[in-house]
């Protein structure tokens, strides 16, 4: 099937050729009608064909309409048919199709009647079409025959091709490595077709072979390669593509050295190939140098070797250098490290520059067997080695400084650095301290045994040359002295040494040879040492020594000592320990009196675990009072009345010894009535009473006016009376009781007030510029009773105490001043409560009326501010112009500020100058202040209106307005409309009076007179400016001459003035009737009429 939208047929469509008859005018550059898929079709001619009739169109297949052939030689068409009909082709470049071209073999034939040549098979050949000129052609194919004839078409191939073949350029080929020649070529295709390139080489310029590519890169896209051809070149993307081609000469021409090598390239596209481009002859070299003789080792050190050059030398046209490659294993490869000509220049010459030995090969490993092999290279990396490698061993080097590590009291572990000696090197270890060889080893570590404890040793080590037994290199540096471990102390013991206040043990031992020691302790004898008591690598604890650190009663302890050697290294392998020791019983607790009487005291305490008995001591004298067994109390008798006694108790164990003493306990035998009753602290509902202990066992305090309110018997000397009323007086008395329950008499009663309630807050109100009302909040019962008051302080030295009410109006204050009011209350005893406080500023006074005066120029006014008793240094004030609604800027002093431009009176200054104003403009100002709390005052009274100065007029000019008139005019110089001006003629003292215009005409002047004028202005307050500079002029008939100008001289007379008429320009003839006034130097003048002057 085929669509009817003139879609261009493609080869893949496999359309029947007869279908083309129905689609005239299809635009195609290339159409191929392939063989049918099944059997060859038979096309039947439907009617007798008149080749000149229009019916021919019905059988035509128009492959191209209006195609431009720029290269007609590439056009070809071929048919192959069988049957009674025939197929022919024709072309025309005549729009009216009156002239047709067709080929009979190679002959181009024309016809105006249509097709007249009807062969069974026709061919349009290149030779035929070469006769056509380039242009636009219509191409048609026809089936020719009689009615009922058929033409069986086996294939039809018709190509319209105006292809322009691609072109290429070829750079200079150059060998760039041992196996690669590199050349660049630029492919161009004006029709943007995908192109290919055939690449060949020749060794004689006549026999060519396809090249093998090592690599090909393109400036655009990627390419595909097979031997001899580069395809898929993207000249369809960019019309020009540069290719960099690598020719693998190692594959194509191995082992070859030639100077007549060529490369040629042939560019092709899908249709045609263009001309071949060949290179000039160039040189390649893939041949290796000849083999040199073997080298021999000469001088050998720990890291260098020199060589004896061989007598047999390499040869090669492109010889580059010799290299001595070397390795620690055999065989030696060309990839191994090497001595090259960059180190020894003699290796760059085939004859070694006549030298017998090489420079030294450096950087070798000491005491290492090496293999060396000589290689010859040409400039392309082709290489040949000598017949055999040689081997030698570098000398051993002194090993690194030995390092000793302490191990035991008799052993040190040594390590050293091989210092680069090869693996397997044998080392000899020497003991410098004992002057003996210790051992030989292939390791770089060794443990030296059989040494003395805490003794410093030094060692050194040397290496044996590999393969040369008994031959050694130099010794290493001497090692630093290192000590063996020190032995532990001996005869270590621990015994109990507890005293009255401290559990302690006595430790003793015998020093051995240690330089220092570490003493630690096992708490609980569980094998874990918990506490370090002494640790010093360079000093020893004294023996014996007493220790009491963190000891507990009835506890088992073990002590251990470890020794430090001379290097400060501790011996953690062996140590010395004391035997187990248990501390004595614990300290008795809660020692107190069970009963106190006038001559005896009964003491008691808590039992102590593991105690055999107790000792009681007089804590004052230290004397033993008694030994107590089987009891935890003791009657201490034979005492003095009203006397203080203090004792301690110590528990003891029959084996572990005596423990520390209890805390002291004391008691006083019975005494007198308690004294010193007073109140130590109070709240609004409590009174805390205290008194002096008179040696009694207990005390009883009560309210003398309400005995139900009492303390009961207490053993302390204090009682807090609760549930009381604030600021109320209470009376209390107290008595004592001894151990036999005998009471003393009551002390005298004492009266005290509970605390008053504290103020909760203070409110400041009704603030003016000179007064503040302070009101305190809170409850103040019984205020005014006793010493009870409410106390106010304004922080400025004024106070007030009131006994009624809660308000104080504080007057006589300063404006805009901060006052801080602190308020507290007192109770009837005068005891103060906590205070509360609040702060506020008094209001600022409204500033006084601003006084305004003229500034020095037309753009400024001077303002004088009045603080009106406000503090000028701290009161902020704002200035604004009521006439413009603008604020004065605090910095620029211009009307560019805003409502935030507040500064103090002092900062404004008085007076202050406001600038940037308009000339002859009237202004009024007001000021407004604020206090420290940013509360604004009212605005001040509006200032009197004051106008800025007017500007002096400018540009006074004089214009002759007639024989008796002169017009003066001037510039306003920025003055506003309505500004008045005053112009006067100074000679005759005539003037304009004050006018608002900017010109004035003076009349009734004398012709020929000389006049001088000046002008001034005044502002709306009638303040006048200075005059502008005077201007002088002479009035003439018809002429204005500046005073003092030279007068023209004509015909020996001086022309003073023209009375009537006029004259032309200088040089013109003047025939008008003119009246001149002339003078001959006298004061008199005459008038002359009708004088002709050239």
For the stretch 137-151, pLDDT in tens is 555 555 544 554 454
Q: What is the pLDDT of residue 491?
A: 94
Tens digits of per-residue pLDDT, 365-424? 999 999 999 999 998 889 999 999 999 999 999 999 999 988 899 999 999 999 989 888
Q: What angle do CA 531, 534, 540 make, to 5 degrees?
A: 150
Q: What is the pLDDT of residue 1066?
A: 44
State mean pLDDT over 646-653. 95
- Return the CATH superfamily for domain 403-483: Immunoglobulins (2.60.40.10)
Percentage above 90 pLDDT, the chain: 67
Instruction: Please count the helices (runs of H) and the strands (runs of E) in the chain.
Output: 3, 88
Domain 296-393 is found in CATH 3.40.50.300: no
pLDDT tops 80 at residue 780: yes
Overall residue count recorded for the chain in this entry: 1094
Helix (H) or strand (E) holding 406: strand 403-406
Q: Which of 717, 666, 671 is nearest to 694 (CA)?
A: 671
Would you give the DSSP letter of residue 333?
A: -
Q: What is the pLDDT of residue 106?
A: 73
| Distance, CA of 588 to CA of 835 (rounded, Å) | 51
- Three-state DSSP at 188 gives strand
Helix (H) or strand (E) holding 907: helix 905-908
The mean of the pLDDT values for the chain is 82
pLDDT tops 80 at residue 39: no
Tens digits of per-residue pLDDT, 1010-1033? 888 899 999 999 999 999 865 555
Q: What is the pLDDT of residue 525?
A: 94
Would you give the DSSP letter of residue 941?
A: P
Lowest-pLDDT choice from 727-736, 779-788, 1084-1093? 1084-1093
| Distance, CA of 683 to CA of 679 (rounded, Å) | 11
Q: What is the pLDDT of residue 667?
A: 87
How far from each other are the two terminal CA atoms of the chain, in whole angstroms? 112
* pLDDT band with cut points at 50, 70 and 90 for residue 650: very high
| Distance, CA of 828 to CA of 281 (rounded, Å) | 133
Hunting for tokens 């006397």 — which residue is that? 643
Percentage above 70 pLDDT, the chain: 79
pLDDT tops 50 at residue 57: no
Lowest-pLDDT choice from 59-73, 275-289, 580-594, 711-725? 59-73
The answer to whether the beta carbons of residues 370 and 304 sit under 8 Å apart is: no
Q: Could you name the CATH architecture of 592-668?
A: Sandwich (2.60)
Q: What is the pLDDT of residue 301?
A: 93
Structure tokens at 359: 């420079």
Query: 861 has which bridge partners?
Result: 854, 914
Contacting residues for 601 by C-beta, under 8 A, at least 6 apart: 593, 595, 635, 636, 639, 645, 667, 669
State mean pLDDT over 351-359. 95
Q: Where does 490-582 sit in CATH, by number?
A: 2.60.40.10
Q: What is the pLDDT of residue 90?
A: 56
pLDDT tops 60 at residue 634: yes
Q: What is the pLDDT of residue 9?
A: 38
The answer to whether the beta carbons of residues 912 and 862 sit under 8 Å apart is: yes
| Distance, CA of 965 to CA of 983 (rounded, Å) | 15
pLDDT tops 60 at residue 683: yes
The answer to whether the beta carbons of residues 923 and 948 sit under 8 Å apart is: yes
| Distance, CA of 673 to CA of 744 (rounded, Å) | 5
* Alpha helices, H only, 125-276: 126-129, 249-252
Torsion angles phi and psi, residue 354, rounded to 5: 80, 5
- Return the CATH superfamily for domain 167-285: Domain of unknown function DUF4466 (2.60.40.3550)
State mean pLDDT over 277-288. 93
* pLDDT band with cut points at 50, 70 and 90 for residue 673: confident
- Three-state DSSP at 368 gives coil
* Alpha helices, H only, 1002-1081: none
Q: What is the pLDDT of residue 1074?
A: 45
pLDDT tops 90 at residue 794: yes
Distance of CA 469 to the CA centre of its chain: 66
Structure tokens at 212: 């093998």
Tens digits of per-residue pLDDT, 512-542? 889 999 999 999 999 999 999 999 999 999 9
The answer to whether the beta carbons of residues 994 and 980 sit under 8 Å apart is: yes
Domain 954-1041 is found in CATH 3.90.1150.10: no
Q: Can you give the residue ranges of every domain in the chain?
A: 11-159, 167-285, 296-393, 403-483, 490-582, 592-668, 675-753, 761-841, 848-944, 954-1041, 1049-1089
Structure tokens at 459: 């060692």
Torsion angles phi and psi, residue 917, rounded to 5: -85, 170
Would you give the DSSP letter of residue 58?
A: G
Q: What is the pLDDT of residue 160?
A: 40
Q: What is the pLDDT of residue 273?
A: 64
Q: CA of 504: how far to CAs of 104, 497, 613, in Å? A: 142, 5, 20
| Distance, CA of 331 to CA of 310 (rounded, Å) | 20
State mean pLDDT over 579-589. 94
State mean pLDDT over 297-306. 93
Q: What is the pTM of this model?
A: 0.38
Strand-strand pairing, 665-668 and 698-703: unpaired
Q: What angle do CA 912, 913, 914 make, to 5 degrees?
A: 120
Q: What is the pLDDT of residue 961?
A: 80
Lowest-pLDDT choice from 102-106, 805-809, 1021-1025, 1051-1055? 1051-1055
State mean pLDDT over 705-728. 94
Contacting residues for 989 by C-beta, under 8 A, at least 6 apart: none
The answer to whether the beta carbons of residues 549 and 541 sit under 8 Å apart is: no
State mean pLDDT over 191-204. 92
Lowest-pLDDT choice from 82-91, 617-626, 1027-1036? 82-91
Q: Which fold has domain 761-841?
A: Immunoglobulin-like (2.60.40)
Q: What is the pLDDT of residue 641?
A: 67
Are both 490-582 and 848-944 of the same fold?
yes
Q: What is the pLDDT of residue 101?
A: 65
| Distance, CA of 443 to CA of 465 (rounded, Å) | 15
Q: Which fold has domain 675-753?
A: Immunoglobulin-like (2.60.40)
Q: CA of 732: how far to CAs of 95, 316, 472, 700, 830, in Å? A: 147, 134, 110, 11, 19
Hunting for tokens 């052939």 — which residue is that? 69
* pLDDT band with cut points at 50, 70 and 90 for residue 837: very high
Q: What is the pLDDT of residue 302?
A: 92
Q: Which fold has domain 848-944?
A: Immunoglobulin-like (2.60.40)
């Amino acid at each position: 099937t085929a669509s009817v939208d003139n879609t261009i047929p493609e080869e893949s469509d496999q359309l029947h050729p007869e279908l083309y008859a129905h689609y005239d005018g299809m635009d195609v550059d290339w159409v191929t009608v392939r063989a049918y898929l099944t059997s060859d079709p038979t096309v039947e001619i439907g009617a007798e064909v008149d080749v000149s009739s229009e019916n021919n169109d019905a059988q035509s297949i128009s492959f191209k309409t209006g195609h431009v052939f720029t290269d007609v030689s590439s056009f070809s068409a071929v048919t192959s048919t069988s049957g009674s009909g025939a197929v022919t082709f024709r072309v025309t470049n005549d729009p009216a199709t009156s002239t047709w071209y067709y080929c009979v073999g190679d002959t181009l034939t024309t016809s105006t009647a249509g097709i007249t040549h009807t062969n069974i098979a026709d061919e349009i050949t290149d030779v035929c079409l070469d006769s056509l000129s380039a242009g636009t052609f219509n191409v048609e194919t026809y089936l020719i025959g009689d009615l009922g004839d058929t033409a069986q078409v086996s294939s039809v191939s018709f190509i319209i091709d105006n292809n322009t073949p691609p072109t290429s350029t070829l750079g200079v080929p150059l060998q760039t490595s041992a196996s690669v020649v590199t050349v660049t070529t630029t492919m161009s295709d004006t029709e943007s077709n995908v192109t290919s390139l055939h690449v060949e080489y020749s060794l004689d310029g006549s026999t060519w072979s396809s090249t093998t590519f090592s690599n090909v890169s393109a400036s655009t896209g990627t390419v595909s390669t097979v031997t001899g051809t580069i395809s898929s070149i993207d000249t369809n993307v960019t019309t020009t593509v540069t290719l960099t081609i690598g020719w693998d000469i190692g594959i194509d021409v191995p082992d070859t050295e030639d100077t007549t090598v060529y490369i040629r390239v042939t560019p092709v596209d899908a249709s045609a190939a263009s001309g071949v481009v060949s290179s000039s002859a160039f040189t390649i070299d893939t041949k290796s140098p000849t083999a040199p003789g073997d080298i021999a080792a000469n001088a050998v050190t720990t890291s260098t070797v020199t060589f004896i050059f061989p007598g047999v030398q390499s040869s090669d046209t492109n010889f580059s250098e010799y290299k001595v490659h070397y390795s620690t294993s055999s065989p030696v490869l060309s990839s191994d490290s090497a001595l090259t000509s960059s180190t020894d220049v003699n290796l760059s010459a085939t004859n070694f520059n006549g030298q017998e030995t090489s420079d030294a090969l450096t950087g070798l490993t000491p005491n290492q067997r090496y293999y060396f092999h000589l290689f010859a290279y040409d400039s392309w990396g082709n290489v040949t080695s000598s017949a055999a490698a040689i081997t030698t061993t570098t000398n051993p080097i002194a090993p690194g400084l030995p390092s000793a590590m302490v191990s035991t009291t008799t052993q040190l572990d040594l390590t050293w650095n091989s210092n680069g000696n090869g693996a397997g090197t044998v080392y000899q270890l020497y003991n410098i301290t004992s002057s003996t060889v210790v051992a030989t080893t292939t390791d770089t570590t060794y443990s030296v045994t059989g040494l003395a404890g805490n003794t410093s040793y030094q060692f050194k080590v040397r290496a044996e040359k590999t393969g040369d037994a008994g031959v050694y290199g130099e010794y290493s540096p001497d090692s630093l002295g290192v000590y063996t471990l020190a032995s532990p102390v001996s005869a270590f013991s621990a015994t109990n040494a507890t005293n009255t206040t401290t559990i302690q043990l006595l430790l003793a031992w015998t020093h051995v040879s240690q330089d220092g020691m570490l003493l630690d302790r096992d708490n609980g004898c569980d094998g874990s040492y918990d506490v370090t008591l002494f640790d010093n690598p360079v000093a020893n604890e004294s023996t014996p020594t007493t220790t009491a650190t963190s000891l507990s009663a009835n506890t088992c302890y073990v002590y251990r000592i470890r020794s430090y050697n001379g290097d400060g290294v501790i011996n953690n392998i062996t140590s010395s320990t004391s035997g187990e020791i248990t501390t004595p019983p614990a300290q008795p607790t809660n020692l107190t009196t069970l009963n106190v009487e006038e001559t005896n005291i009964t003491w008691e305490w808590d039992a102590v675990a593991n105690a055999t008995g107790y000792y009681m001591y007089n804590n004052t004298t230290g004397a033993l009072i008694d030994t107590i067994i089987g009891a935890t109390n003791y009657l201490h008798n034979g005492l003095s009345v009203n006397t203080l006694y203090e004792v301690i108790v110590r528990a003891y164990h029959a084996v572990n010894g005596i423990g520390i003493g209890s805390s002291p306990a004391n008691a006083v035998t019975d005494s007198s009535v308690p004294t010193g009753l007073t109140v130590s602290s109070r709240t609004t509902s409590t009174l805390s009473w205290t008194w002096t202990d008179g040696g009694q066992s207990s005390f009883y305090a009560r309210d003398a006016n309400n005995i139900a309110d009492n303390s009961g018997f207490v053993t302390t000397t204090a009682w807090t009376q609760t549930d009381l009323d604030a600021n109320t007086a209470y009376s209390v008395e107290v008595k004592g009781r001894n151990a036999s329950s005998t009471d003393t008499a009551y002390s005298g009663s004492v009266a005290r007030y509970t605390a008053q309630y504290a103020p909760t807050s203070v409110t400041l109100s009704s603030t003016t510029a000179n007064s503040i009302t302070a009101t305190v909040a809170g409850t103040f019962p019984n205020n005014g009773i006793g010493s009870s008051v409410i106390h106010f302080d304004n922080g400025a030295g004024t106070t007030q105490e009131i006994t009624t009410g809660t308000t104080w109006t504080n007057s006589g204050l300063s404006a805009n001043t901060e006052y801080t009011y602190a308020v507290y209350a007192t109770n009837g005893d005068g005891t103060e409560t906590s205070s509360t406080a609040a702060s506020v500023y008094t209001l600022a006074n409204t500033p006084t009326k601003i006084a305004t005066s003229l500034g020095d120029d037309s753009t400024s006014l001077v303002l004088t501010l009045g603080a009106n008793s406000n503090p000028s240094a701290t009161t902020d004030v704002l200035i604004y112009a009521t006439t413009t609604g603008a604020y004065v800027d605090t910095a620029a002093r211009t009307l560019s500020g805003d409502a935030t431009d507040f500064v103090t009176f002092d900062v404004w200054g008085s007076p202050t100058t406001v600038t940037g104003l308009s000339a002859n403009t009237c202004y009024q100002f007001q000021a407004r202040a604020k206090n420290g709390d940013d509360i604004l005052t009212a605005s001040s009274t509006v200032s009197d209106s004051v106008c800025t100065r007017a500007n002096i007029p400018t540009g006074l000019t004089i214009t002759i307005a007639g024989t008796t008139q002169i017009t003066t005019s001037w510039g306003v110089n920025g003055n506003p409309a309505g500004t008045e001006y005053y112009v006067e003629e100074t000679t005759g003292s005539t003037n304009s009076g004050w006018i608002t215009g900017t010109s004035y005409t003076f009349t009734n002047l004398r012709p020929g007179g000389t006049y001088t004028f000046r002008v001034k202005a005044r502002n709306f307050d009638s303040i006048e400016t200075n005059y502008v500079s005077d201007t002088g002029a002479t009035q003439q008939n018809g002429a204005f001459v500046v005073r003092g100008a030279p007068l023209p001289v004509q015909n020996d007379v001086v022309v003073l003035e023209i009375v009537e008429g006029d004259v032309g320009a200088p040089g013109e003839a003047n025939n008008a009737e003119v009246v001149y006034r002339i003078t001959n130097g006298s004061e008199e003048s005459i008038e002359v009429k009708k004088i002709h002057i050239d």
